Amino acid sequence: MAKRVGGFRRKTRNKLRRNIRQRGRIDIKRYLQSFEVNEKVNLSADSSYQDGMYYPRFHGKTGIVTGKQGDCYKVSIKDGDKLKKLIVHPVHLKRVK
């Protein structure tokens, strides 16, 4: 079996890039935001903060918060036919209006 070259962020140069006006420090409000259970959230990775980041395949998906684990939130999303659970830091989440 062949060994895979590259890692978690392979081929994500454009996908995880931040806008030029948003580069620099993380907004503290996004870092400390809180969510309720059954609240809808969008997954949008902040590439300047690597902790609690999900796999880039799920970038741009919408999920539902199912609980909390430490500082992070458990988010369930639908990937094809399957329901998947991700553990995501609040920096990488946006509330759906």
CATH code, domain with 55: 2.30.30.70
Q: Do 66 and 37 contact (CB within 8 A), yes or no?
A: yes
17 located within any domain? no
Contact 88, 72 (CB under 8 A): yes
| Residue 35 located in a structural domain | yes
The whole-model pTM stands at 0.88
- How many distinct structural domains can be found in the chain? 1
Q: Using the 8-state DSSP alphabet, how is residue 57 labeled?
A: G
72 is a domain residue? yes
From residue 59, give the alpha-carbon distance in Å to each of 1, 2, 3, 14, 70.
Answer: 29, 27, 25, 12, 22
Instruction: Provide the pLDDT for residue 58.
Output: 96
Q: Which domain holds residue 38?
A: 25-95
Digit-coded pLDDT (tens) for 54-92:
999 999 999 999 999 999 999 999 999 999 999 999 999
